[in-house]
Amino acid sequence: MNYRHSFHAGNSADVVKHCLLIALVRALQQKQSALTLIDVHAGCGLYDLDGEQAQRTGEATQGVLRAFADPNPLLDPYRAAVQAVNVGSELHLYPGSPRILAQLLRPQDLLILNEKHPEDVNTLRGAMRDTSAAVHGRDAYELWLAMVPPRTPRGVVLIDPPYEQTDERSRITATLTAAYRKWAHGVMVIWYPLKDRATHSRWKEQLRKLNIPKFLTVEHWLYDRDQPGIYNGAGLFIVNPPYAFTQALPPLLEALRAALAPEGHRGEIITDWLGD
């Protein structure tokens, strides 16, 4: 699967990912102690919705534009984050996770970004020059292990790979296993695409065998039936989600399902605990 994010910026997967990421960080910030936010596949940081690549797919029309057209106030924090990188009411730019995380920083918090692609890391540095973020150009899995546990009392690692390599899932599984040994109380968030239920179920069972006690999965299925060979949705694995986040999750997920359901489909967002 080739996933250059400039083609997909602002799609339904971004809406769900970024809504949940904002809710997660805000739940953690109910405590005053400092957070380190680490994005190991940071991408370009900011995307042009009017650009040729975004216009070629038109995926933002089924994602961020639907979220802006929906009146549910539970989507307001997400809409505010997107609006913050735009001037006026029209949307021309879409913030990637680095720009959204930068907006959430308190004075005591830190932001560490990483992008291995040489062109994209240069673009990322330009997009983040007005922030305090540290930007690296290293292998994502090497950096993930090197940065945990962080220097601050608490932290979040976001793993959001392109899934271009056939061994991507096995590398995530191996690195998660090692990272959890080093940092058992840390919060780690893994994004994944959903192309078919069988492939996803096999990976989920492998992760279940890691016996991580607090291991939540959130699956957003766009269609009522699998559409063979195409993108069917996306989800997040979340290690150690805070209680305030999980308690507020059901109404937020219902708001997202309703806002993003394609024409003729109801869609579904499923949560499941992989731990005991």
Mean pLDDT of 7-28: 94
| pLDDT band at residue 55 using 50, 70 and 90 as cut-offs | low
Instruction: Identify the residue whose tokens are 């559409």.
Output: 227
Alpha helices in the chain, H assignment, sequence order = 12-28, 52-57, 64-69, 76-83, 97-104, 118-127, 140-147, 168-182, 197-208, 243-260
| 160 catalytic per annotation | yes
| Active-site pick, 130, 160, 196, 224 | 160
Share of the chain above pLDDT 90, in %: 80
pLDDT computed for residue 137 by the predictor: 97
How far, in Å, CA of 33 to CA of 49, rounded? 36
Phi, psi of 34 (to 5 degrees): -65, 150
Whole-angstrom distance, CA of residue 125 vs CA of residue 137: 10
Residue 111 pLDDT: 98
Q: Which domains does the chain have, with CATH numbers?
A: 5-262 (3.40.50.150)
Cβ distance 11 to 65 under 8 Å?
no
pLDDT bin (cut points 50, 70, 90) of residue 186 is very high
